[in-house]
Amino acid sequence: MSAARETRRSRFRALLAVSVVVLSACDSLPGKPDPADRYVRPDAVMDFETLFAANCTGCHGEGGRQGPAPLLGDPLYLAYAGPRELRRIVSDGVPGTSMPAFLDEKGGTLRAAQIDALVAGMQASWGMAGRFAGRRLPPYRGTRGGDAGLAYARARGRASFQIFCAKCHAAQGGGTPKAGSVFEPSFLALVSDQGLRTAVVAGRPDLGMPAYYAHAVGRPMSDEEIADVVTWMAAHRVEFPGRPFSQAAPFVGKEP
Amino acid sequence: MGSSRLRAAGDWLEQRLGLRPLFEGSAGHLVPSNASSWWYVFGSATLVCLVMQIATGICLALVYVPSADQAWESLQHLDFEQPFGWYLRGLHYWGSNFMVALMTLHMIQVFLFGAYKYPRELTWLCGCLLFLCTLGLAFTGQVLRFDQNAYWGLGIGVSIMGRIPLLGESLTSLVLGGPILAAETLTRFFSLHVFVLPGLVITLVVLHLRMVLHNGINEFPTRGRGVDPETYDAEYAELIERTGEPFFPNAIHKDLLFSAVVIGSILACAAIFGPKLPNGPPDPTLIDTVPRPDFYFLALFSVFALLPPYMETFLIVYVMPVVVLALFAIPFVSRSGAKHPADRPVAVAGVVLVMTTVMTLAVLGLSSDWSPHMDAWKSVAVPVEMVEGRSPLELRGAAVLQAKQCRNCHALDGSGGKRGPDLGDVATRLTEDQLIRQVLQGGGNMPAYGKNLSPPEVAALVAFLRTLSPADAAIAQNSADPLGG
Amino acid sequence: MSDEPREPMPPPALPPVTRRSFLFKLGLGLNALAAALVAVPLIGYVISAVVQTRADQAWIPLGSIGDFPERQTRLATYRNPFRVAWDGTTADIPCWVRRVGGERFQVFAINCAHLGCPVRWFPQSGLFMCPCHGGVYYEDGRVASGPPPRGLFEYEYKVSQGSLWVRGGRVPTLSQTV
């Protein structure tokens, strides 16, 4: 009698133990919603990786590399542009180019704090703060000679172009199989002078174009040479780019 | 000794409750022995689902707040704070999926076995009403998940009703509880979901079962033997006489086993896949949303995308009700004749056709290739091999392709929107002139971009597109100018 | 469950009007009347949403016209004028405001004319796109491609004392626009 009661009691205990285990196992079931999946309003997303993947990857590529638009995942570029310029570009866009304004007040979809998070995230993830500490980088904003100096700057730029760029972009800018033309009027119409300058300074190491200091010539481009090359390229802008019939008289005939 | 005392107690109770005749007229009723078949288990399993839905639904209603400003919050609480809340939501969600699926199987089985024929016409009719009510429960339940999908899903429902001539406006207001989707809409759907429709379903189930008992369960069909209303009743009585056995306990074992499997599956699905979490709150100003219906309405969702626009209103307003009426009319059109599916090739083909269509549409709805991929332009990268080795102009073109949202509708080697053709090999298909024309003038369901692209943008874009061809493929040339000069 | 033995039904001649049969009929009639009286307020209550007892549109301010840059399209939101306290976020209604120039505007409902999904404006390509069935509209609301049977729904608007006002308050459908 008492033995039977004993078995019954132990059976009850076993049952209790099993249910406790089952109940606590519920907590680790794969279907249990993960608090990380909680909904976040799009204007409250502050995670850099998420923001970059959602807003920048399309043109600038994954990790800010190997996209058609300028290279962002590059310590030189980030040190050269600096957070203030980056914030301005992301907020306001670059008129005339494919870079749209992302700030909500300017018709974009991001709040200022989110743009700050993007800029800070780029600097933190890809910036390598110490690397250019001792180096003097070319200033972000270039100078362009006045009207009197313009023709002179162009002539110098043409010469510098021969030294630093022509190997891949060809002497007249017509392009070689390696890199293609930089004097194409439609290209020039879609890039700002600042964009040209950035391309000359930072290059596209991810796509095989060296930065200003890494040319095969063996010496870095000087600030002046950078400015002159940009002036020379910009001089090839035409009034009506992209129209097949206005290209009959390209700039080449009006060279200084 | 003990058993005789037990029996005495049983008799005492029976004398007062009178359960035996009730049992003999219901669970113990005689069924033809061939009706104890694995094919006959779907109806009872649907009923089991209904019971589970009621139980889990009552529990959810203990916590859920049917108020437009708090419903979404209370669901967050259920999913993340309330002990077992997520699991109950999972059971209710998967229970509804299973219920719709099993009900559909039941309906198909009844149709294929000719069970709707004389004398069971009204049983079928009642079943069709149950089908509609269950879909109604599914839709209203989806609304109670009061999230962005619910908000815009209702918007879709209302837009469909708005297409009905004359009545459209009134129906819209009736459903929304006013001229706009707001607080009263949710309470309407709440009372539909927890009072009106369950009440209707329970009533109809009782009626349905009453008719099943009254007319007897359909005998397993035999090849070559049909229904003749003149002689059927006598034949069925003779069959029961010959092979009849009580449903409980003789013929119920397959239903019992299958129901247990169904319950187990629902429990497992809820444990493994969990509930469907609400997406964003029902804030219409969060336009960053891509509304999608639950699985059962995906087929309908696809229909609206794939129909030629000129047919839509006609189809929604006139054809859909006719289809529903046709479903109701089946037993009155085909009241007698063959029952066995092998004798009814057209019926079988019809089921195969309808189910293939519905499933195909639903699967298409899962990926919704007709919808633009709204964020592709800024979130889906240009494949690296399409960036490398490109000229400055071509790179600008790729940036234009992204920045002008071309990518929302066009994929590059499979990534991006799928509404338009994949551009990964467009250079093998279109010449430069054709590309320029297509970009500027649009056509073939593509908007004209002429006003929104500057000439250099077009030049860059086309230059980029002209580089998009597989390495070994020739690019398209103007036939009048074969050298491309 | 009356215990009285039931008498066989009389042949279908004229049934005599007894007190019992009169009261039976009276009872039926009174209950029918009562049911009808109950039904009137019930039905009236339910369909009150349809029978309009109040205006469903009102003029709503969207903000100073200075908030809307020339030749641009911006999202604006307003509070539904006919809200109740427990509407929550559903009372916030968005719309697209296109400032054509000066005091000329176009204010579009957010709802796609196809099946009501929220259209999104893409300034770069100058298109509204719908995420549901792929309807696309030009900046002036005309259909550019996809299934919509008409252009975007447009609010009636006015500019008063430097503010932009629209007439809204109901969800636009094909049978009843904003």
B400, closest residue in chain A (CA to CA): A98
CA B395 to chain centre: 44
Considering the domain boundaries, does residue C6 fall inside one? no
Interface of B with A in 392-421 (CB under 8 A): 392-400, 402-404, 407
Chain B (168-207) residues lying within 8 Å, Cβ to Cβ, of chain A: none
Same domain, C80 and C164: yes
Stronger pLDDT, C157 or A244, i.e. the higher one: C157
Whether residues C66 and C48 fall in one domain: no
- As a whole number of angstroms, the distance between CA A225 and CA A200 comes to 10
CB within 8 Å: B277 and A37: yes
Distance of CA B111 to the CA centre of its chain: 20
**A107 Cα to chain C: minimum distance (Å):** 6
Reported CATH class of domain A147-254: mainly alpha
- Same domain membership, residue C142 and residue C72: yes
**Are residues C74 and C96 located together in one domain of the fold?**
yes
Interface touch A107/C123, C-beta < 8 Å: yes
Residue given tokens 């796509």 in the structure block: A207
Min mean pLDDT across A162-176, B321-335, C42-56, C69-83 is at: A162-176
> How far is it, in rounded angstroms, from Cα C13 to Cα C4?
24
CA–CA gap between residue B385 and residue A232 (Å, rounded): 31
- Residues C98, C149, single domain; the answer is yes
- Asked if C72 has any chain A CB less than 8 Å from its own CB, the reply is yes
- Predicted confidence band at A172 (pLDDT cuts at 50, 70, 90)? low
Q: Looking at CA atoms only, how far is residue A191 from chain B in angstroms? A: 8
The residue among C105, C29, C34, C123 whose CA lies nearest residue C67 is C105
Which of B180, B184, B372 comes nearest C170 by C-beta? B180
Give me the residue from A57, A58, A180 closest to B392, CB to CB: A180
Which of the two residues, B116 and A14, has the higher pLDDT score? B116
Residues of chain B with pLDDT below 50 are: 485
In chain C, the number of structural domains is 2
**Measured between beta carbons, which residues in chain B are less than 8 angstroms from residue A97?**
399
Q: Does the structure show a pLDDT above 90 at A244?
A: no
Residues of chain B with CATH 1.20.810.10: 28-367
Residue in C111, C126, C146 nearest the CB of B451? C126
Superfamily (CATH) of domain A42-132: Cytochrome c-like domain (1.10.760.10)
Task: For chain C, give the DSSP string.
Answer: ---SPPPPPPPSSPPP--HHHHHHHHHHHHHHHHHHHHHHHHHHHHHTTTS--S-S-EEEEEEEGGGS-TT-EEEEEEE-TT--GGGGGGGEEEEEEEEEETTEEEEEESB-TTT-PBPEEETTTTEEE-TTT--EEETTS-EEESS-SS---B-EEEEETTEEEEEE-S--BTTB--
For residue range B376-390, list pLDDT tens digits in order: 999 999 999 999 989
Kindly state the tokens that stand for A210: 């060296």
In CATH, the architecture of B376-465 is Orthogonal Bundle (1.10)
CB pair distance less than 8 Å for B179 and C129: no
Asked if the Cβ–Cβ distance from B384 to A66 is below 8 Å, we say yes
* A92 pLDDT higher than 70: yes
CA distances to A183, B42, B250 from B253, in Å: 84, 13, 7
Clarify whether residues C29 and C84 are in a common domain: no
List, as ranges, residues 83-142 from C with C-beta within 8 Å of A.
123-124
**Shared domain check, C150 and C76:** yes
Domain with CATH 1.10.760.10 in chain B: 376-465
Do C110 and B287 make contact, defined as CB atoms within 8 angstroms? yes
Same domain, C162 and C146: yes
Judgement on whether residues C49 and C118 belong to the same structural domain of the protein: no
Pull the structure tokens for residue A105: 């007040």
Among A14-28, A212-226, B357-371, C57-71, whose mean pLDDT is lowest? A14-28
Query: Rounded CA gap, A156 and A150, in Å?
Result: 10
pLDDT score for A255: 39
Residues near A224 by beta carbon (within 8 Å), at least 6 away in sequence: A156
pLDDT at C96 over 70: yes
**In this structure, which amino acid lies at residue B480?**
A
For the question of an ipTM over 0.90, the answer is: no
Q: Residues C38, C44: contact at Cβ < 8 Å?
A: no
Residue of A nearest to C67 (CA): A105
- The reply to whether C110 falls in a domain is yes
- Could you give the CA distance from residue A178 to residue A197 in angstroms, rounded to a whole number? 20
> B455–A242: do the CB atoms touch at under 8 Å?
yes
pTM assigned to the model = 0.88
The domain ranges of chain A are 42-132, 147-254
Q: Domain containing C98: what range?
A: 58-168
Does B172 sit within 8 Å of C176, measured CB to CB? yes
C76 lies in the same domain as C161 = yes
Cβ–Cβ contact A239 with B under 8 A: no
pLDDT at site C1: 44
Asked if C134 and C48 sit in the same domain, the reply is no
The model's pLDDT over C16-63, given as tens digits with 9 standing for 90+, comes to 788 999 999 999 999 999 999 999 999 999 888 888 666 778 999 999
pLDDT band per the 50, 70, 90 thresholds, residue A25: low
C9, part of any domain:
no
- What is the CATH architecture assignment of B28-367? Up-down Bundle (1.20)
Residues C41 and C94 in one domain: no
